[in-house]
Amino acid sequence: MHHLVGLRWLLGLYTALFIAFLYGPFAVMAILSFQQGPEGGPQFPIREWSTFWYQHVMGLAPPSRIAPLPIAEALTRSLSLAFATMVVSTVLGTLTAQAFRTRFKGSGVVFYLVVLGMMVPGVLLGLGMALVADQLGIDRSWWGTAFVLHVVYTYPFAFLVMLAIFNRFDRSVEEAAWSLGVPPARTFRKVTFPMIFPGVLSAMLFALTLSYDEFPRTLFTAGSDVTMPIAIYGTFAVEIHPNLFAFGILTTLFSFAVLTVYGILMGLSTRRARARFSDMQEDIA
Amino acid sequence: MKQYDLELLKIGKVYPGGNVAVEAFDLQVEPGEFISFVGPSGCGKTTTLRMIAGLEDITSGKLLIRGKDYTHVPAERRPTATIFQNYAIFPHMTVRENIGFGLDVRGIGTEEKRRRVGAIIDKLHLGDVADAKETSLSGGQKQRLALARGLVTEPDMLLLDEPLGALDANLRKSIQEELKLLQRSLNITFVFVTHAQSEALSMGDRVVVMNAGRVEQISAPFELYTRPKSPFVARFIGRNSLFSGTLAGAGNDRAVVETPFGPLQGTPAFQASEAKSGSDAMVVVPSEYVEIDGAGSRAADTSFDTIDGVVGSIDRVGQLAYPTVALDDGRSLRLETYADKIAGRGVEPGGRVTLRWRPARATVVLDQQPSA
Ligand SMILES: Nc1ncnc2c1ncn2[C@@H]1O[C@H](COP(=O)(O)OP(=O)(O)OP(=O)(O)O)[C@@H](O)[C@H]1O
Ligand SMILES: [Mg+2]
């Protein structure tokens, strides 16, 4: 019994440290975001609690010497980019995984080509893309060059998730639909898709979050209209104010909202198909 | 010309990669017939069934359904319904939705659809679970749901791949009977795959015995049992004793094989013209027809073929007795008889006995090495 108690302690400590490192920075940021403004700086102690910086971020604060964060447009761009990336990567990933269900000639090579997209160092890829664009005389833009790289980066994730899903997919369910006279396209919509939906959701979540705060690939390819992570990075060069923290908290809350929607949809869809697929999202999660 | 429900004309399947699964499969099925496929694991039963269903490409030969060529028609346009071994229930739909799913693409009105689904639910006793999903169904209910889902589309024939394999022995027995009754009442063709010979023999009007991708024999169960056409069938079906030797002579209803036990006779399973004297042959004797007696008695009765042996042991179960008899060539046969039939006839462990049977009960098959 004795050594087990020791082990419990160790595990407890480990968990505590894990939580401390995961949420510590976040907690500090959360506290500092309520610093008094506009004089209060990004450090302790808190002079006085206030929501000034939140108002500042949203452009509701009275004008002061501190410039508003140049992120409003960047945020819109990042969200549009993340959304578009999510849609394209998930569709591509699902279709590719579907193609991989029957081993075709050269499928091994194609697999590595696709997965390479997430392995190649991002900065190099970004730099390379910038060079190619310049050579070809293409303007760099967040919706063009950067978008392509976001897809290249997130598509392998979506593909791998869907591959895992299809690996455990019982194909006789589709065959049953065909032999009932239901054509393949309708079978995919009415049978296959509802059954793989938990996987599709996960692939979407991956693509969305990876693209939303993508930095290295975007840095050189977004052109002059930058995305949110790059805009934030830009503000570091000047002076840091707690408005950055307030913004950080807001986007984290947004992420939680996305996660909650994911959780709810997942819950709904797995309640529908609990039988076969309860163990499937465990694989993914 | 006769109209068959299903005709397989030398169909064959070579899987990508060169694996030959089925070769020159010939079969004609009459409307309303119950056909069983039986054979050892990997002999190509599932592959053949899937070729009929359109789930597997046919690589040679032709497939006709009611006289129409369906060789290259995809599954969703064939008038067949398939029941899978794992039932393949749509897990996200209720029993009712599962059944209605195949009707949605057939342009059937809502009212008509409801009526048909309701009727089949009643017929297969699924009323209590009509709004349940797969998770809350028992094995037998899933099996009936799979049947209902296929039958509601009114297929020309039903294809079943080991549909009872996932059920326990008791349920299996009762569903076998239900299935047979269902087929009789619907009067549509069933093609039923199993690897249990008892199932194939008890359910099928005719049984197709397969081995290594080829058809060995297609016969009614009793004929298959009593008149095997090849050594493989003789070994695979029933409990037969086989005695090999060389063919000494063959007429139309009697052939003689020279065996280590002396000349033995039987009804030839081949045309007299097919076989030359001296070719390898076997005499097949169903164990049920073998009588056992103390050595020497009635030896003179020439209407029997006899061989001698030594009793090893006798198992008794109630009034049944199962003597094990060691033959001179080292083999031992296990026979079934009644305890009172062998009482006082010198059938005891260690005793020498004579086994005898009427030659008309035996079959002579040619032992052809498969031509490579
Ligand atoms: N998709 C496939 N690709 C290649 N070979 C296959 C494939 N499916 C089956 N085979 C091969 O074809 C042969 C026949 O297989 P099939 O599944 O038809 O046998 P079966 O008679 O149904 O056996 P069982 O009683 O075990 O179900 C086997 O040798 C098998 O290995
Ligand atoms: Mg099989």
**Do you find a cis peptide bond into A38, omega within 30 degrees of 0?**
yes
Q: Regarding beta strands B34-38 and B280-286, do their DSSP bridges make them parallel or antiparallel, or are they unpaired? A: unpaired
Is the confidence at residue A210, as pLDDT, over 50?
A: yes
Q: What is the DSSP string of A116-167?
A: HHHHS-HHHHHHHHHHHHHHHTPPP-TTTHHHHHHHHHHHHHHHHHHHHHHH
Closest by CA to A88, choosing from A126, A117, A110, is A117
The pLDDT of residue A278 is: 44
- Rounded CA-CA distance B279/A19 in Å is 84
Closest by CA to B101, choosing from B129, B74, B120, B73, is B120
The pLDDT of residue A277 is: 45
Q: Regarding beta strands B332-334 and B320-327, do their DSSP bridges make them parallel or antiparallel, or are they unpaired? A: antiparallel
**Residue A281 pLDDT level (bands cut at 50, 70, 90):** very low
Tens digits of residue pLDDT in A244-261: 888 888 888 888 898 899
Phi, psi of A194 (to 5 degrees): -60, -30
Residue A209 C-alpha to ligand 2 middle, in angstroms? 45
Is the confidence at residue A284, as pLDDT, over 50?
A: no
- Rounded CA-CA distance A143/A136 in Å is 17
Q: Helix, strand, or coil here: B132?
A: coil
The reported pTM is: 0.80
Tell me which residue has tokens 């639910």: B121
* Mean pLDDT calculated for residue range A61-66: 76
Nearest CB among A179, A186, A272 relative to B82 is that of: A179
What strand order describes the sheet that includes B157-161? B80-83, B157-161, B189-193, B34-38, B206-211, B214-219
- Rounded CA-CA distance B300/B118 in Å is 70
Is the confidence at residue A107, as pLDDT, over 90?
A: no
The pLDDT of residue A246 is: 85
Q: How many residues appear in chain A?
A: 285
Residue B73 C-alpha to ligand 1 middle, in angstroms? 22
Q: Report which secondary-structure segment, H or E, holds B352.
A: strand B352-357
The closest-lying atom of ligand 1 relative to the alpha carbon of residue B50 is: 18
Nearest CB among B86, B92, B105 relative to A172 is that of: B86
Higher-confidence position of A4 and B108? B108
Tell me which residue has tokens 């009172």: B340
The pLDDT of residue B372 is: 36
Tell me which residue has tokens 């000047």: A238
Delimit the domains of chain A by residue range: 72-238
Tens digits of residue pLDDT in A24-53: 888 888 888 888 877 777 777 888 888 888
Evaluate whether B22 touches B47 at the Cβ level (below 8 Å). Answer: yes
The response to whether residue B61 sits with its C-beta less than 6 Å from ligand 1 reads no
Q: Tell me, rounded to whole angstroms, the distance of Cα A36 from its chain centroid.
A: 32
- Rounded CA-CA distance B152/B106 in Å is 11
Domain with CATH 2.40.50.100 in chain B: 231-366
Helix axes A243-272, A2-32, angle to 10 degrees: 130
Is the confidence at residue A207, as pLDDT, over 90?
A: yes
Contact across the interface for B55 and A178, Cβ inside 8 Å: yes
Evaluate whether B52 touches B191 at the Cβ level (below 8 Å). Answer: yes
- Rounded CA-CA distance B234/B365 in Å is 9
CATH number for the region B6-226 comes to 3.40.50.300
B136 close contact with A: CB closer than 8 A: no
- Rounded CA-CA distance A85/A274 in Å is 29
The response to whether residue B41 sits with its C-beta less than 6 Å from ligand 1 reads yes
Which B positions 144-163 lie with beta carbon below 8 A of chain A? 146, 149-150, 153, 159
Quote the CATH superfamily of domain A72-238.
MetI-like (1.10.3720.10)
- Which of the four CATH numbers 3.40.1350.10, 2.40.50.100, 3.40.50.1450, 3.90.950.10 does domain B231-366 have? 2.40.50.100
The pLDDT of residue A229 is: 87
The pLDDT of residue B369 is: 63
Contact across the interface for B92 and A195, Cβ inside 8 Å: yes
The pLDDT of residue B318 is: 87
| Nearest CA, atom 4, ligand 1 | B15
Is the confidence at residue A273, as pLDDT, over 80?
A: no
Residue segments in chain B with a per-residue pLDDT below the cut of 70? 1, 295-301, 369-372
Q: Tell me, rounded to whole angstroms, the distance of Cα A13 from its chain centroid.
A: 30
Is the confidence at residue A276, as pLDDT, over 80?
A: no
Evaluate whether B36 touches B205 at the Cβ level (below 8 Å). Answer: no
Q: Does this complex have an ipTM over 0.90?
A: no
Tens digits of residue pLDDT in A166-198: 998 989 999 999 999 999 999 999 999 999 999
Domain with CATH 3.40.50.300 in chain B: 6-226
In the chain, the amino acid numbered B370 is P
The response to whether residue B18 sits with its C-beta less than 6 Å from ligand 1 reads no
The chain B residue lying nearest A181, using CA atoms, is B76
The pLDDT of residue B295 is: 67
For residue A190, the chain B residues in CB contact (below 8 A) are 101
Closest by CA to A154, choosing from A182, A107, A114, is A114
**Residue A213 pLDDT level (bands cut at 50, 70, 90):** confident
The chain B residue lying nearest A184, using CA atoms, is B76
The pLDDT of residue B330 is: 83
What is the distance in angstroms between the CA of the first residue and the CA of the last residue of chain B?
36
The response to whether residue B194 sits with its C-beta less than 6 Å from ligand 1 reads no
Evaluate whether B225 touches B239 at the Cβ level (below 8 Å). Answer: no
